[in-house]
Amino acid sequence: MQSAGHGRGRRTRTEVGRGINMQVLVTGGAGFIGSHLVDSLVDAGHDVLLIDNLHTGSQANVNTKAMFYRMDLTDHAAMGQVFTRNEIQAVFHLGARVNVRESMQDPVGYAAVNVSASLALMELSRATGVEQFIFISSGGAVYGEGIQADGSHKAFTEEDPINPKDNYAANKLAIEQHLALYREAYDFPSAVLRFANIYGPRQNPKGEAGVVAIFTEAMLKNQEIRIHGDGTQARDFLYVSDAVDSCLSALKHRARGVFNVGSGQPTTINEIFQKLASLTHYHRAPVNIERPVGEVDLAYLNTSLARSSWGWSNRVDLQQGLTNVVKHVQAKLQK
């Protein structure tokens, strides 16, 4: 276990309610979303610890003002030391294995990290009196297909039936259910944020997911673009800074329960392709390939609960967000 820095004393609930800085742990804090969250927490004056094994996260993403523990969530002894050496008041849990296809090939390995290690983290948090535990789930995965049998569709609400289509989504749902149990049995102070498809700077262009990052880098390199199916499948795309703002709002308002976080608007893969092609001056036609079995046609989120509960709303529209991504990738490729 590698670490640096020192902890602060625990604040009282009254102090936290007044916005006084907290000691906050972020798992997966060197990853795409996690690193942006760490940056914002640091900027807000919080004392931030992050855990990441750098399997998919990047050392370049690590904020030097945060205390960094390079370790696996499955290392329970080391995890225990993190909690005993510090006075952690809030936990954002993003650390996970996230490859959907891998989750179907290695269900036991995925459950060991995504479920068992998460339960151990919850137990440590409960035992040490953590005042807020926020789990980042996937609204794009847990609900399943958004088009109904009669052809109608609507944005998913938190009350809609859950229908995961792969082991990754099932892992997310399992933790949601455990957190619901902990809230009921132990009054465990927790919230679940079901994120839409998050995009923005630092997203991995070589990953399985992340169509915006994948398309942008390929277009700027004038490489072939492959689209699964005919490209009419639609998702809810949310810029990463808006996702991070929802985390900060949930922390500030001591959120409890399950909340959708997204733009509330469906956008097709073809639309993403066309907008990025225009921004990057890409003139090649995409190549349509076979869609993966089980891929849903439509998934987008109703976010009225988060909006009414915390006053949160997304502020970066799709065109501006895509423009930001293109500029970021252009700068990276020019280095």
Distance in angstroms (rounded) separating the CA atoms of residues 34 and 257 = 21
| pLDDT for the residue 315 | 97
Q: How many CB atoms lie within 10 A of CB 54?
A: 14
Residue 1 clears pLDDT 60, i.e. is over it: no
The residue among 206 and 251 whose pLDDT is bigger is 251
Of the candidates 131, 127, 155, the one whose C-alpha atom is nearest the C-alpha of residue 143 is 155
Contact 39, 92 (CB under 8 A): no
- Mean pLDDT of all residues belonging to the chain: 91
**pLDDT over 50 at 11, yes or no:** no
Encoded amino acid at 243, one letter: A
What's the whole-number mean pLDDT along residues 82-87?
Answer: 97
Q: What is the pLDDT of residue 101?
A: 80
In tens, the pLDDT along 275-302 reads 999 999 999 999 999 987 777 899 999 9
As given in the structure block, the two tokens for residue 49 are 């610890």
pLDDT band at 307 (very low <50, low <70, confident <90, very high): very high
Span 13-200+237-263+302-315 CATH architecture: 3-Layer(aba) Sandwich (3.40)
The residue count of the chain comes to 335
- Describe the crossing of helices 318-333 and 269-280 by its angle, rounded to 10 degrees: 50
**What pLDDT is attached to residue 55?**
92
What band does 49 get if pLDDT is binned at 50, 70 and 90? very high
pLDDT of 3: 56
Q: Tell me the pLDDT tens digit for each residue of 119-165.
A: 999 999 999 999 999 999 998 888 988 887 788 888 999 999 988 88
Exposed/middle/buried for residue 129 (C-beta within 10 Å: 0-12, 13-18, 19+)? exposed
User: Residue 299: left (phi > 0), alpha (psi -120 to 50), or beta?
Assistant: beta
Catalytic positions are: 168
Copy the structure tokens of residue 257.
Answer: 């329960």
Name the band, by pLDDT with cuts 50, 70 and 90, for residue 9: very low
Phi/psi region, residue 131 (left: phi>0; alpha: psi -120 to 50; beta: rest), is alpha
Angle in degrees, CA 11, 182, 10, rounded to 5: 10
**For 98-121, b where at least 16 C-beta lie within 10 A, e where not — what string?**
bbbebbbeeeeebbebbbebbebb
- Residue 19's pLDDT is 52
Residue 133 near residue 122 (C-beta atoms within 8 A): yes
Share of the chain above pLDDT 70, in %: 94
Please state, in angstroms and rounded to a whole number, the distance separating the CA atoms of residues 110 and 104.
9
Percent of the chain with pLDDT over 90: 77
Which distant-in-sequence residues (6+ apart) come within 8 Å of 57 by Cβ?
28, 29, 30, 31, 34, 35
Q: What is the pLDDT of residue 10?
A: 42
* Residue 167 token pair: 């082991």
pLDDT reported for residue 334: 92
